Amino acid sequence: MAKPNFIELPGCDPIPILFEDRSVLAIDKPRGWMLVPDSWRQTNWNLQTAIDSSIRADDFWARSRNLRYLRHVHRLDADTSGVMLFAKSEGAMRAMGEMFESRRMEKTYLAVVEGVPKEKAWICELPLGQDPKNFGRMRVDTSEDGKECETHFRALVSNERFTLIEASPLTGRTHQIRVHLAQSGCPIMCDELYGRVEKGFRLGLRAVRLAYKDTFTRRPVTILAPTAEFLKEFNFKLTPELQSEKWVRRPFVSKEKVAANVSSLKNQH
């Protein structure tokens, strides 16, 4: 049985599958989907709940893989798009979760900020903690309660208004990149918590790469998300040098092509 290279959920465009092996499945998470506990009833956009429901309904994308279990290994903020990793079994969940916790998972994001940063490259190690006065917001916390954080930043290219930044977090704290960039004097574009919102734009943050050594096969794995639409949204054009960066993925699969694949598979089944 042919397996579609997307997940189809009600009320949204097909979600591309970027990578899959016997242990994991990685998707290109769209903006808007949240990863929150089932008990949190304030949204219909709970990605894990929607996937669980689709598997229980024996939808074709899941049935073709004989999937009975698929759990997110890490989280992305609701408005952050890009590489999202899921485990296909409890054993894989434990193995991949430990990889994130032990910092053996390489993570790369692209962030868009207004203006030009003061430095070409820098490291932010400010500890973070929850803001007791603002639910859901993080803050720099230099007390004993603050959690260790480290993010590496590199300014890549600027246009008339924005700068594209590569962010590589070594730790995985909530809103880490967003707070660290705001504290560096260059908040992410359209960040409603740590910057400002501007009509016509969306949060300028995308997870573009995960890389690790497979726990079971010991082989290196690199998972890349397309960047073309994200760059176009903020009017960036990559130089030939940047086009060879390790987070650049080719070929780019358009939404139109994914939609055509959906239609074709529906007609077959």
pLDDT bracket for residue 12 (50, 70, 90): confident
| Residue whose tokens read 């803001």 | 131
* Residue 63: CATH number of its domain: 3.30.2350.10
| Residue 195 DSSP label | S
What are the pLDDT digits (tens) for 46-84? Answer: 899 999 999 999 999 999 999 999 999 999 999 999 999
> Which residues does the annotation mark as catalytic?
77
Identify whether 122 is part of a domain.
yes
179: domain range?
106-211+235-244
**pTM of the full structure:** 0.89
Same domain, 68 and 13: yes
Same domain, 83 and 173: no
Q: Residue 264 above 60 pLDDT? A: no
State the chain's mean pLDDT as an integer. Answer: 90
pLDDT bracket for residue 253 (50, 70, 90): very low
What is the rounded CA–CA span in Å between residue 137 and residue 131? 6
Same domain, 131 and 201: yes
Same domain, 55 and 150: no
Is 188 within 8 Å of 181 (Cβ atoms)?
Answer: yes
pLDDT at 2: 80
Same domain, 10 and 120: no
Identify whether 256 is part of a domain.
no
Domain count, the chain: 2
What are the pLDDT digits (tens) for 122-137? Answer: 999 999 999 998 888 9
Identify whether 227 is part of a domain.
no
Same domain, 3 and 95: yes
Determine what percent of the chain is predicted with pLDDT higher than 70: 89
Identify whether 260 is part of a domain.
no
What are the pLDDT digits (tens) for 160-198? Answer: 999 999 999 999 999 999 999 999 999 999 999 999 998
Identify whether 264 is part of a domain.
no
On the CB side of 170, CA atoms within 13 Å amount to: 12
Identify whether 266 is part of a domain.
no
Q: Which residues contact 156 (CB under 8 A, 6 or more apart)?
A: 163, 164, 165, 166, 242, 245
Q: Which helix (H) or strand (E) holds 109?
A: strand 106-114
